[in-house]
Structure 1
Amino acid sequence: MTKVHPNTSSAESARAELGCGGAGVVAEATVLTVWRKSLLFNGNGFTVFDGKGNLVFRVDNYASGSRNEIVLMDVAGKPLLSIRRKKLSLGDHWLIYSGEEVINPRFAVKKCTSLRQSKTLARVTPCVPGAKAFATFVIEGSYSQRSCCVYDNRHQQLAEIKRKESPQGIALGLDVFRLTVEPDLDSSLAMAIVILLEQMFGSR
Structure 2
Amino acid sequence: MSRIHPSSSSSENKISNDPVKVSSSPKLTTLTVWKRSSMSFQGTDGFTVYDGHGRLAFRVDNYSRNNGWSCATNEAATPLVLMDGSGRPLLTLKPQIFSFQSQWNGCVYREDHKGSSNKDRTIFLMRRPSSTFFGRTRNQESQCEAEVFFNHHTEPEYRIEGSFWNRNSRIRSIARGEVVAKIIRKRTGGGSSSSTMVLSEEVFSLVVSPGFDPQLIMAFVVILDRICYKPSLFTPLMCS
TM-score of the two chains, using structure 2 as the length reference: 0.71
Matches within 5 A, 1:55-204: 55-63=56-64, 65-66=67-68, 67-68=76-77, 69-99=79-109, 102-114=119-131, 119-127=143-151, 133=155, 136-153=157-174, 154-167=176-189, 168-201=195-228, 203=230
Which secondary structure state, in structure 1, belongs to the residue aligned with residue 227 of structure 2?
A: helix
The unaligned stretches of length 5 or more in structure 2 are 8-12, 69-75, 111-117, 190-194, 231-239
Q: 1:201: Cα distance to partner?
A: 1.9
User: 8 Å contact 2:208–2:217 — kept in the other structure?
Assistant: yes
Q: 1:166 deviation in Å?
A: 1.4
Specify the SS of the correspondent of 1:190. Answer: helix
Q: Would you say the 8 A contact 1:144–1:201 is kept in 2? A: yes
Q: Is the 8 A contact 1:61 1:70 kept in 2?
A: no
Measure, in 1, the Cα distance between the counterparts of 2:229 and 2:51: 23
Following the alignment from structure 1 to structure 2, what is the Cα–Cα distance between the partners of residues 46 and 161? 15
Partners of 1:71 and 1:81 within 8 A in 2 = yes
1:88 positional shift: 4.2
Q: 1:22-33 alignment to 2 at 5 Å?
A: 25-33=24-32
- Compute the TM-score of the two structures, normalised by the length of structure 1: 0.82
Unaligned runs of 5+ in 1: 20-24
The RMSD of aligned alpha carbons is: 2.5
Computing the radius of gyration over CA atoms, which structure comes out larger, 1 or 2? 2
Distance in 1 between residues matched to 2:146 and 2:217, nearest whole Å: 13
Identify, as 1 or 2, the structure richer in helix. Answer: 1
CA distance in 2, matches of 1:48, 1:103: 24
The share of aligned pairs that are identical, in percent, is 32
Contact 2:109–2:121 under 8 Å retained in 1 = no
- 8 A Cα contact 2:82 2:89, kept in partner: yes
- 1:6 Cα deviation after fit: 6.5
